[in-house]
Amino acid sequence: MMSRIALSETGATPWERLLGNAPTILEKWVVLEQAFMASPTFSDTLREQVRRALAFGNRCEYCMAKAGPPDESQPDRRTSLAVGLAQRFVQDHRNIDDTTFEALQAEFSEKEICELFAYMSFFCASQMFGASLGLQPAEDYSR
């Protein structure tokens, strides 16, 4: 099955081409994504492991196929906490208890916690968009 709506000619990836049907939104979306990816707050590894955890929670076929599930073992406590948080967040973002926040506050500053929640919210929205519109793994599309 291809996506539920046609891919546009606007955008570099199948996901972007899907959102490219609304080019003004795509333009701003890409700017925000670039801001997250350029931020020095978190390592590339932490960001990618969180993205993978969210992808599997959101069941976005396109997103899951990019790199597979998060690694079983994380390189450090911060990444491990962030991945665990992402898994809880994607299941029920309203069910993150005080104990979880205390663990986060022991490892992350308030700025970092804020950015982590913003990052997770942004990527959940991206993945829900793709999953809802039936976006398939990139190799299923050809230009």
Q: Whole-prediction pTM value?
A: 0.94
Instruction: Identify whether the C-beta of residue 95 lies closer than 8 Å to the C-beta of residue 88.
Output: yes
Domain residue limits, the chain? 14-140
Nearest to 29 by CA among 42, 47, 11, 41: 11
Q: What is the pLDDT of residues 20-76, one digit of tens each?
A: 999 999 999 999 999 999 999 999 999 999 999 999 999 999 999 998 999 999 999
Instruction: Give 97's pLDDT tier (boundaries 50, 70, 90).
Output: very high
Q: Which helix (H) or strand (E) holds 115?
A: helix 110-132
**Dihedrals φ, ψ of 2, to 5°?**
-85, 180
Tell me the two tokens of residue 49: 């492991």
User: What is the 3-state composition of the chain as percent helix, strand, coil, each rounded to the nearest 5?
Assistant: 65, 0, 35
Tell me the two tokens of residue 21: 């049907």
CATH of 14-140, one of 1.25.40.80, 1.20.1290.10, 1.20.1050.10, 1.10.10.410: 1.20.1290.10
15-35 exposure pattern, b = at least 16 Cβ within 10 A, e = fewer: bbbbbbbeeeebeebeeeeee
Q: What is the pLDDT of residues 101-132, one digit of tens each?
A: 999 999 999 999 999 999 999 999 999 999 99
Enter the DSSP assignment of 13.
S
